[in-house]
Amino acid sequence: MEDHNVKINSMDRAAYKMLVPEYSQMKNILELLDSTKEEEMGKWGTKLEEDIKMFHESVGHLKTASNDERLLEDVEFIDPIMTIVEGLKQDVLQLEATAKANQKFQTMFGQQIERYPELDAVSGTSSQTHSL
């Protein structure tokens, strides 16, 4: 403004001068964030790998639960079986949502996208059982 003789009212000039320190702070924060980006991404990547490992354990538990003998027996009362199937269905839906979130994060972090064939197998079994 001063270098090019731009006319500006005193209120706008004061507002501009107040923004200069804030701009400097913001610039410093962005530089700090940029310098720690690789380290932070490494931490998040490690956390994601741990979450995926726990996810696989959850899928294993779901697979075991979906192989419950009561689901294959001819039973007189269907209500308890339907309760089990509904619980399995909710678990599958939750795990599928988690799988999508994991894949989204893997994309963001530039990691190889993990596929979950065991979850697909369990969810296929679960939906077939539910449709019976």
Whether residue 30 lies inside any domain: the answer is no
Number of domains the chain is built from: 1
Whether residue 110 lies inside any domain: the answer is yes
pLDDT at 91: 92
Closest alpha carbon to 90 in 58, 117, 68, 116:
58
Please tell me the distance from the alpha carbon of residue 46 to that of residue 87, in angstroms, as a whole number. 31
Q: Which residue has the tokens 């697979």?
A: 63
pLDDT tens series, the chain, 132 aa: 778 888 888 898 888 888 889 999 999 999 988 888 888 888 888 888 899 899 999 999 998 888 888 887 777 888 888 888 899 999 999 999 999 998 998 888 788 888 888 888 888 744 444 443
Whether residue 3 lies inside any domain: the answer is no
HSE, side-chain direction, 13 A CA sphere, residue 108: 12
Q: In terms of residue numbers, what domain contains 95?
A: 40-131
pTM for this one? 0.60
Whether residue 84 lies inside any domain: the answer is yes
Whether residue 96 lies inside any domain: the answer is yes
pLDDT at 126: 45
For residue 91 the two structure tokens come to 């678990």
Whether residue 87 lies inside any domain: the answer is yes
pLDDT at 27: 93
